[in-house]
Structures are given as structure tokens and as C-alpha cells.
Amino acid sequence: MAEGKTGTTKVLMEETRIFEPPKALAENCNAWQWAKKKGFKTEKEMRAWCGEHYLEFWDEMAKTYADWYKPYTKVMDDSGMPYFKWFTGGKVNVFYNAIERHIKAGKGAKVAYHFIPEPTDQAEKDYTYQEIYETVNKLANGLKSLGVVKGDRVSIYMPMLPETVMAMLACAKIGAIHSLVFSGFSSKGFGDRVDDCQAKVVFTSDGFYRRGKPMPLKPQADEATKGIQSVKNVIVLKRTGIEVPWNDAKDVWFHELIKGQSAECKTEELDAEDRLFILYTSGTTGKPKGIEHAHGGYCVTPAQTLHWVFDLKENDVWWCTADVGWITGHSYVAYGPLCLGATTIMYEGSPDFPDFGRWYKIIQEQKVTVFYTAPTAVRMLMKQGEEWPAKYDLSSIRLLGSVGEPLNPEAYIWYRKNFAYDKAPIMDTWWQTETGCFVISPLPMTPCKPGSVAYPLPGFNTTIYDEEGNEVPLGEGGNIVNPTPWPSMLRAFYKDEVRYKKEYWDMYWKVKPGTYLAGDKATRDKDGYWFVQGRIDDVLSVAGHRIANAEVESSLVAHKDVSEAAVIGKPDEIKGEAIIAFVILKKDVKPSDDLAKELKTHVRTTMGPLAIPAGVYFVDDLPKTRSGKIMRRVVKAKALGNPTGDTSALANPEAVDGIPLI
């Protein structure tokens, strides 16, 4: 039953299933080893201490996980709040930490990436730390030869390839600021971002593979950069060999740029606060926001959180399925695993090519031990049925992870069972482009509840505030906030001070200055387990009760016939908003009026009468962002007959056509 002014619905919080981690895992995991060394008796005690002594904690982590050219003199400087500074006085470079120090330590022969092309007739390839070191040095020299210097912006519009990471690293090495734009974005989307950051150089490729077939990318890059004066050169990686338009005055092949360059290049000794990258987040409305991140923080928290949450050990095979063009790819395909010296699987293509067994096959063949993906992918695979995972041996998996959206209990249980035979815990990690690293998540020793992201990680004082800035008691919902800063926090919006302050810092400035407003709603159950309800603007108001769209969706998806659901509010004279559900059914289930009724009853029994959808519509597809988030805003606009805005950045713009007018 939904109730309460703060968006509390009891359905998730009545979850009684608790999954205890395997004893050996809990006992030996990296996080618990540290806790034991420190003398903590319980996980709770450890998390509490690290929050309270967060500066001491991050100081120790910065010294443990990063190598510094020159030690910092101050852990954190809040004198210019909300522009916090970390590790002031310190000199550092994330390239040194990600690659160079491993070479120095004699670990150059270790595989950094095992690359799996999408076309099944192409050979897989290992990239060692040594190879990456040499290629990046040549590339960095190549960038210098084009006149790129410290502080210049370089836009990267490339598919999921090791060279994409190498382009990032080459920028980092010389102090240039990279700005990746997911290669599935339209040329307009890319062009707007290049223009915003005034990039000097653009990286792209001739093309990429989709469903095993080569598709062009360079023409989109040309279209995007046409007329942008700042762009002096376009570096083009040959991936598919297809013909591309060429402009001798500007274009240069990646392989020609590095040919003849020296494999030696001095790494810039940067200030900890020097910018590493700008990443644009689309946000639900308006102009994309260019989130800036700094070198110092990125040398510390992606590696540390990966080491603790996913327990990476020397021989683990890590696979994070996110595209490197998203924050998850930045932190957990590129910087985090490289700083740890880990081996990462990089798969170029989609999970359904040539069939729905592709991911399982990769796990089996590569003996993947730790696997991290998004709920939308889990639900998509769930829709295809248990017969696919059943064909493969997935026994190598020891830990699973999820990110991007709430992992509804139905998908949670399916994921546990089918990916790891119920023996691997799921680390459901809550975080954002802005946070740069996991913030709320279980650790391998945490007993987990389905649908919950457990608790704030050590070093974070993340909590839930009501509108006035009071911490809400357990059982109630409100805004996720970070009252204290953390090393890989966002540093600014690129050239937009006003919006930066307004979006993240103004809300509680008068009562608690320096409190970061995340923009998500959450609740905690009586045991303190966190349940993320979705974005602040994704909360419905039905007859004065606030109901999170995500929870109604979670209820619907728990029904045996439902694969995915999007819930929107339709203006209603009496109730304020009426709940409308758009539902994708599982394979072989036929839509019918009876089924629509049954789904309403199902929501009534699981959530209570207030949450019953006034309408249930069956659709074949739902519009999603490229990172797999359902675009409720677009669904709503289409259903209500309003303009849907620019949908070119969606993964599947055609899905919009299938949304009926209601």
C-alpha cells in the first residue's frame, strides 16, 4: 500500500528475504580484510567509523591506492565550497597509476583487455599492459605533434574498442581533457558536445559493427564537426575498412599518426585538481550538463571501490558490460580496473548477436569471475527465458553486479539463479556520473535484500533529507544527499557555474551548506536497507500520495507475464495524477483485456489500491537511453500528445511510434 508524504511505499520495504554471502567470500574479501586489520568487529561499526572519519579514511585510501609524484599537503580543502578540492599540493597522473607503474613493477605482460569483436569470424585479441603503454606513448606523441597541449579538450566518438581507452589514456598522459560521447549518439548530439567544450581534436573511427555488419561512423563525425572552428584535426581509427569521406587538411589515420612516433613519452606531472575529463549527462530535461572530473580523485576511488565492492584479486576476470562512453565505462572499464592492474573483458557488440547466448558463451569461454551489468539487460535476457543460460557453464562467476536503475526483486532473483546458480551475491551499486564511483552498495560480506542497494559505502555520509533538510527516520523517504564531499566528486559544470550551484548545492545551502543533492529519492526499511525510488521528478502524486514510478514498475515486472514496464502520470482532475502503465509482455504471451485486468489486480495486491494503474497498455518496445534507462519523459509526452523533443539520442527512437495516444 502506498502512503505517506515522502513517497514511501511499503512493498519493497516489506521484503523479508535476506541472502547471506558465502562464508569464505565474506571472510576473505578485500573490504573485510581491511576492517579486520583495523580492529572493527562488525561491518556496521566499520561503515560508521569511516563516515565519521571520512578525511582520515580517504587519506589512507589515497595513499594505499595511488602513487603520487609529490605528496599532497591537505586531504581536502572546502574553502571555496561548493568547489571542493582534494589532495591539494599533490602531483599525480592517472596514466601513471593506470599503466606506467605496472610496467615499472614488472607486470607489463599481464593482459589488461581481452577484446572480443562482435563479428564471430574475427579473432579475439589480448592487449597487455606493455602494449597499451607503448601505443599510448606513441599516441601521446602524436597528439603533441598536432599541437595538443595540457588543458586542451579532445572529443572522443568511438565504439567499444581498446583503442578508445588508449585515446583516453593518451589525453590523460599529456594533461589534455577528454570528452567521450557515446558512439551511438546522433551527429547533432555529438556536435553540440564538441562545440560546448570547444575541442581541438576529435577521435572517431571509420565505422563500427552492428549485428555483425559494418556501419559508418566517420560521416557522422564530419557532419557534427562541420563549422566548429575549434576542431583542427580528426583522428580516424580504421576498424571496419569501409570507405570514408576524407579531408586531407584535417583528417589523419590513427595508425599513421602513431607510425614512427617514439614509444617513450614523459608523463605530465599534474596537480591533483587538474581536469581529467568532461562527461556530458543527458539529464531528463534541457541542455546536456558537462560534468568535470579531476585526476587526483580518479586515481583513488574507482580503484578502491572496485577493489572493495567487487573484491578484485590478482587472477579475477572482470567484465563490466557498460560502453566506455558512459561513466560506468570510464570508472569501471577504464580507470578503476587499470589502476588495479586487473584483466578486463571488452566485448564490442550486443548481447543478442548472433543469438541470446552470446554473453553466457563469453562468460563460459573466458571464465569470467565477476560480472557487472544493468537491470535492463537482465530483464531483456530474462524475457528470452532460462533455456539460454542453461546451455552454458557459468560456474566461474563468484560475484555479480548491477547499476543504472533499480534492480527489481523479480529480476534480482532471476539474475542470481541463472547467472550464478544462487551462489554469488549481487552488488547493486547506486552512483552517478557526478559521483565518479559507487556510493551506496553492499560489500561482499553484506547480507543482501533483493531490490535494495544496502548502505552507503565507507567514506560516505550519504543520507536522506526531507524538503527542509532534516534527516528522515527509517521507514520514510526523501532526497538522497551527501553532506560531506568525496574524492571523485564532480568538480564543476563546464562553463556553467549558475546551473552547477542550482542543480546540486542550492537546495540545502541555507541549512547545511556544502550538501550535495543527488536528484534521486530513496527510502530505508527498519533495518536501514536503502531502496532507491528513482529520480526526484519521477515520483507520482496520486490523491495526495507520492508513489514512485519505479515501484509500480517493479510490481508489474514481478508478474509472471511481464518483461518490462514504464509507468507515467496522466493529469487527473480528481486525483492529481492517474497511473498509466505501458507493458512489454514476455515472449509468447498474448495481450488481452483479461490480462490487463489481472495486472491491475496484481498491483492492487502487491502495492495497495492507491497504486492501481488507471490504464494498462501493451507495447512491443519502450524508448530507452543508450545506457538502458527507460525514458518515461518521452513515453509520457507521446502518450499525452505533447512534443517528444529530440529523440535522436535514444537507443531505439522507433519505439516512440509504438506508444499509443491515451
How crowded is residue 621: how many other Cβ atoms within 10 Å of its Cβ? 15
Residue whose Cβ sits closest to ligand 6R9: 433
Residue 508's alpha-carbon distances to 82, 87, 407, 446, 449, in angstroms, are 12, 26, 29, 31, 31
Label the pairing between strands 153-157 and 207-210: unpaired
In whole angstroms, the minimum distance from the beta carbon of 534 to ligand 6R9 comes to 6
In whole angstroms, the minimum distance from the beta carbon of 430 to ligand 6R9 comes to 4
In whole angstroms, the minimum distance from the beta carbon of 405 to ligand 6R9 comes to 5
Measure the CA angle with vertex 275, ends 96 and 234; round to 5°: 85
In whole angstroms, the minimum distance from the beta carbon of 522 to ligand 6R9 comes to 9
Residue 450 dihedral angles phi and psi, to the nearest 5° = -55, 135
Of all helices (H) and strands (E), which one includes residue 58?
Answer: helix 54-65
Among residues 162 and 519, whose Cβ is nearest to ligand 6R9?
A: 519
In whole angstroms, the minimum distance from the beta carbon of 552 to ligand 6R9 comes to 15
Query: Which residue is it, cell 602513487?
Result: 67
Among residues 402 and 555, whose Cβ is nearest to ligand 6R9?
A: 402
For residues 225 and 228, give the distance between their C-alpha atoms in angstroms, rounded to a whole number.
5
How crowded is residue 607: how many other Cβ atoms within 10 Å of its Cβ? 23
Residue 553 DSSP one-character state: H
In whole angstroms, the minimum distance from the beta carbon of 625 to ligand 6R9 comes to 8
Asked if 469 and 511 touch (Cβ cutoff 8 Å), the reply is yes
Among residues 175 and 406, whose Cβ is nearest to ligand 6R9?
A: 406
Among residues 258 and 532, whose Cβ is nearest to ligand 6R9?
A: 532
Q: Name which of 655, 17, 19, 624 is nearest 379 in CA terms.
A: 624
Among residues 348 and 405, whose Cβ is nearest to ligand 6R9?
A: 405
For the chain, helix (H) and strand (E) counts, in that order, are 24, 30
Among residues 76 and 518, whose Cβ is nearest to ligand 6R9?
A: 518
In whole angstroms, the minimum distance from the beta carbon of 624 to ligand 6R9 comes to 12
Among residues 534 and 569, whose Cβ is nearest to ligand 6R9?
A: 534
For residues 76 and 272, give the distance between their C-alpha atoms in angstroms, rounded to a whole number.
11
User: In a 3-state reduction of DSSP, which class is residue 16?
Assistant: coil
In whole angstroms, the minimum distance from the beta carbon of 172 to ligand 6R9 comes to 21
For residues 41 and 215, give the distance between their C-alpha atoms in angstroms, rounded to a whole number.
56
How crowded is residue 466: how many other Cβ atoms within 10 Å of its Cβ? 15
Residue 474's alpha-carbon distances to 477, 520, 531, in angstroms, are 8, 17, 11
Q: Which three cell numbers stand for residue 285?
A: 530535461
Among residues 15 and 134, whose Cβ is nearest to ligand 6R9?
A: 15
Percent of the chain that is helix, strand, coil (3-state, to 5): 35, 25, 45
Binding site for ligand 6R9 (CB under 6 A): 281, 327-328, 402-406, 428-433, 453, 519-520, 532, 534-535, 627
Residue 600's alpha-carbon distances to 408, 556, 596, 617, 640, in angstroms, are 18, 9, 6, 11, 21
For residues 47 and 37, give the distance between their C-alpha atoms in angstroms, rounded to a whole number.
14
In whole angstroms, the minimum distance from the beta carbon of 327 to ligand 6R9 comes to 5
Among residues 43 and 428, whose Cβ is nearest to ligand 6R9?
A: 428
Amino acid identity of residue 257, one-letter, is: L
Among residues 90 and 459, whose Cβ is nearest to ligand 6R9?
A: 459
For residues 235 and 256, give the distance between their C-alpha atoms in angstroms, rounded to a whole number.
9
Among residues 335 and 356, whose Cβ is nearest to ligand 6R9?
A: 335
Amino acid identity of residue 549, one-letter, is: N
- Give residue 233's region: left, alpha or beta (phi > 0; psi -120 to 50): beta
In whole angstroms, the minimum distance from the beta carbon of 521 to ligand 6R9 comes to 9
User: In a 3-state reduction of DSSP, which class is residue 51?
Assistant: helix
For residues 358 and 372, give the distance between their C-alpha atoms in angstroms, rounded to a whole number.
15
Among residues 30 and 408, whose Cβ is nearest to ligand 6R9?
A: 408
For residues 532 and 375, give the distance between their C-alpha atoms in angstroms, rounded to a whole number.
13
User: In a 3-state reduction of DSSP, which class is residue 380?
Assistant: helix
Asked if 108 and 129 touch (Cβ cutoff 8 Å), the reply is yes
In whole angstroms, the minimum distance from the beta carbon of 113 to ligand 6R9 comes to 21
Among residues 200 and 535, whose Cβ is nearest to ligand 6R9?
A: 535
In whole angstroms, the minimum distance from the beta carbon of 518 to ligand 6R9 comes to 6
Asked if 185 and 179 touch (Cβ cutoff 8 Å), the reply is no
In whole angstroms, the minimum distance from the beta carbon of 652 to ligand 6R9 comes to 17
Among residues 47 and 535, whose Cβ is nearest to ligand 6R9?
A: 535
**Residue 208 pairs with which residues in a beta bridge?**
215
Label the pairing between strands 270-271 and 91-92: antiparallel
DSSP string for residues in 331-353: IIIIIHHHHHT-EEEEE-S-TTS
In whole angstroms, the minimum distance from the beta carbon of 86 to ligand 6R9 comes to 20
Among residues 364 and 432, whose Cβ is nearest to ligand 6R9?
A: 432
Among residues 504 and 617, whose Cβ is nearest to ligand 6R9?
A: 504
For 352, counting Cβ atoms within 10 Å of its Cβ (0-12 exposed, 13-18 middle, 19+ buried), the class is middle
**Residue 593 pairs with which residues in a beta bridge?**
none
Asked if 533 and 551 touch (Cβ cutoff 8 Å), the reply is yes
Among residues 154 and 327, whose Cβ is nearest to ligand 6R9?
A: 327
In whole angstroms, the minimum distance from the beta carbon of 520 to ligand 6R9 comes to 5
In whole angstroms, the minimum distance from the beta carbon of 256 to ligand 6R9 comes to 35
